[in-house]
A and B are shown apart, each in its own frame.
Chain A
């Protein structure tokens, strides 16, 4: 073992090895996950920390396309990681952790929207735990269709309406802050947001 990537802890068993002879900067994602997988055997909290650092950004970026709120996107991703650790899902997952995490975040983001729009879910789905029911190809496509539909709907809102909606929802700004920023009254802000939500809800009901 010539190279020692910064992340390796000295306590790892000798049977584990990076099978690449390349320089330490070119470790591919697959190897990073392999490393984390081993880490789960000895130190789950540390392993989850590494997993978190590895995938948090792209997961949040992906989630926000569905829920259109930075705060909620971060909450969902955090919940998925939390459940991953708490239910020891790392022992049950047959795919890569990446696949599980992305599939789980997509599923939960969709479930969140469905709940917001007033649709009750038909199955009693333990949303956070996908170990028993990985999404089918059709479902995978439906998730993408959903977030793309939402993006289209938001883009079709009137400019002022869209601005107010994004400030409230995406940036989690308070109404009076939005009113100040856009130089309109609080009542107008309320009206814009109500309209935006109503439009989204109506379109997504179908």
Chain B
């Protein structure tokens, strides 16, 4: 009997009008795999007949295809300024060129300008670049990547990173190593793979999506090499603390910034504010002691500081004030 539930009962159930008896019947019925298939078929039919909302599939598909090609195929042009839900805040090319020149001139001596090409992002900006070997890099906000202007890929492929970037490195036919150097004591060596490197204020991390990387560290005059596998996160603090390697991490969350999304897993608010400073350059102050202990959980899409803080304000009873150009957070009692 429980093998033959009618579509009608399922429709009643989906509309929220099923009795407890009926729900019990359905639960029993669902124990058979075949019926689970049938269930989802009827869910689809029900949704098609009583849609809660009808999205613009064409637009969504276009964005989806864009997202696939962005992340999987390293065959794209440099300096993309897209307009779409994933890159809502791209700046115009002219502004970028001007700021790049200014930044390059002020931060690096002349020799650097001649022999190295620097890719840089401003606060709140996420940009994608392609290197001469067709490897692609997505640079997070407030970061810079230096690559040799000449002969990149001839003997070795070495770049210098400050900040945070996600790499999609192409494997060359002759197994040429790709090395990411950071201001810290570590460099990351790969053949071809997808990973991210973070290097700010004495803290360095390497997060691996696919492939394999070797991280070389020099501490206390000792050289050490650590192998990082997919799902791993390696954290190194320049201040002589032993490197920490964690496995089975939610690596997907760590790349959410590529889509201007921030993911927090029970993260202390103070850490979140540090992240905000690094990404947007904004100083946010917490007034209440109670608020300082707060932890943030969730996934937020934000292209600027205000959007992110407003999302917090909504969720956590926080008031946002501006005092003398600083942003202050208070609890709403």
Using CB atoms, name the residue of chain A closest to B49.
A58
Interface residues in B48-67 by Cβ distance below 8 A to A read 48, 51-55, 57, 60-61, 63-65, 67
Secondary structure call for the A interface: helix
A98 contacts across to B, CB distance below 8 A: 40-41, 44
Q: Return A26 CB to nearest CB of chain B, in Å.
A: 16
Q: List B contacts of A74 (CB < 8 A).
A: 55, 60
**A104 to B: closest C-beta gap in Å:** 11
A-contacting residues, B18-43, CB 8 Å: 23, 26-28, 30-31, 33, 36-37, 39-41, 43
Tell me whether B297 is interfacial, beta carbon within 8 Å. yes
Q: Are B298 and A70 in contact (CB under 8 A)?
A: no
| CB proximity of A136 to chain B, nearest CB, Å | 8
Pairs A-B, 8 closest by C-beta atoms = A137-B30, A58-B47, A148-B16, A61-B51, A99-B40, A60-B55, A61-B47, A61-B52
Q: Give Cα A103 to B44, complex, Å.
A: 11
Is B68 engaged at the interface, CB distance under 8 Å to the other chain? yes
- Choose among A29, A56, A83, A118 the residue that contacts B60 (Cβ–Cβ < 8 A): A56
Asked if A31 lies at the interface with its beta carbon under 8 angstroms from chain B, I say: no
Interface residues of B (CB under 8 A from A): 13-14, 16, 23, 26-28, 30-31, 33, 36-37, 39-41, 43-44, 47-48, 51-55, 57, 60-61, 63-65, 67-68, 71-72, 85, 248, 250, 252, 265-266, 297-299, 301, 314-315, 317, 332
CB distance from B227 to the nearest CB of A (A): 22
With A118-B297, A120-B266 given, is the CB distance from A57 to B68 under 8 Å?
no
A128:B252 contact, CB within 8 angstroms: yes
Complex interface: chain A residues within 8 A of B301 (CB)? 75
In the complex, chain B residues whose CB is within 8 Å of the CB of A188: none
* Contact indicator A29/B41 (Cβ below 8 Å): yes
A-B contact count (CB 8 A): 122
Question: Given that A194-B314, A194-B317 are known contacts, is A56 also in contact with B61, CB under 8 Å in the complex?
Answer: yes
Nearest CB in chain A to that of B251: its residue: A126
Most interface-central of A62, A65, A137 (chain B CB within 10 A): A137
Q: Give bound CA distance, A55 to B52, whole Å.
A: 15
- Decide: B65 and A116 in contact? CB cutoff 8 A: no
What is the total number of residues of chain A having a CB less than 8 Å from a CB of chain B? 53
Question: Residues of A at under 8 Å CB distance from B?
Answer: 29, 45, 48-49, 52-53, 55-62, 64-65, 70-71, 73-75, 78, 81-83, 85-86, 95-96, 98-99, 102-103, 112, 115-116, 118, 120, 124, 126, 128, 137-138, 140-141, 144, 148, 151-152, 193-194, 197-198
In the docked arrangement, what's the CA distance between A140 and B27, Å? 8
The reply to whether A78 and B314 contact each other, CB–CB distance below 8 Å, is no
Q: Are A141 and B23 in contact (CB under 8 A)?
A: yes
> What separation, in Å, do the CA atoms of A95 and B85 have in the docked complex?
32
Contact A61 B53 (CB under 8 A): yes
Most buried by B among A53, A61, A115: A61
A200 to B281, CA, bound (A): 34
Given contacts A61-B51, A102-B43, A151-B16, 16 further A-B contacts (CB under 8 A): A45-B65, A53-B57, A53-B61, A56-B55, A56-B57, A59-B47, A70-B55, A73-B53, A73-B55, A74-B60, A82-B64, A95-B37, A98-B41, A116-B315, A124-B250, A194-B332
